[in-house]
Homo-oligomer: A and B are copies of this chain.
Amino acid sequence: MPSVKPIEYDEASPAVRAVYDDIMQTRKIKWINNFWKVLANDAVTLRRTWESAKEIMAPGALDVLTKEMIYLAVSVTNGCEYCTASHTAAARKAGMSDAMLGELMAVVGMANETNRLSNGYRVPVDPAFEPKF
C-alpha cells in the first residue's frame, strides 16, 4: 500500500492536471501510471521530476530503446520492483525483444558479479584506463 493516496485526474489540482496532460500527450497514451499519481501529492516534485524525465529520456546521442535499457539495468541492480516492472514494459514498447532482454539481464548479472570481485580484491585501476586530457 502506498504511503500517500494516489491522486486521480478528476480530483487533481490544475497544476497537477497540467502535468498529467503533458505526460499523456508526450507519450501518446490515455492513462497515468501510479508513480505520477503518488508523486502528485507533492506538486513541485511532480513537475520537476516529469520535466527532468522528459528532457533526459528524449532521443539524443542515445536512442530511446538504449536509454530504457540503461534505466532497466539500474532498476534491476537497485532491486526496485516498481521500476523494474515499468521499465521492462517501456523497453519492450521501445522495441526490446526477448533475446535483448535476456542479454541485458546477463550483462547486468555479470557486472554485479565482477563489481564485487574488483572491490573484494581491491584491484587498482590500470594507468591505461585513465583518460588523457
Distance A74 CA – B79 CA, assembled complex (angstroms): 12
Please report which residues of chain A, range 78-130, place their CB below 8 angstroms from some CB of chain B when the two chains form the complex: 78-89, 97-126, 128-130
Q: Point out the residues of chain B lying under 8 angstroms from A86, CB to CB.
A: 125-126, 129
Q: Which residues of B contact A81 (CB under 8 A)?
A: 119, 122, 125
Contact of A4 among B61, B62, B78, B131 (CB under 8 A): B131
The answer on a CB contact under 8 Å between B77 and A77 is yes
For chain A, the count of residues having a C-beta within 8 Å of the partner chain is 83
> Are B55 and A48 touching (Cβ within 8 A)?
yes
A67 at the interface (CB under 8 A from B): yes
Q: Are B107 and A56 in contact (CB under 8 A)?
A: yes
CA distance A124 to B109 in the complex (A): 18
* A13 lies within 8 A of chain B by Cβ: no
In the assembled complex, how far is the CB of residue A24 from the closest CB belonging to chain B, in whole angstroms?
Answer: 14
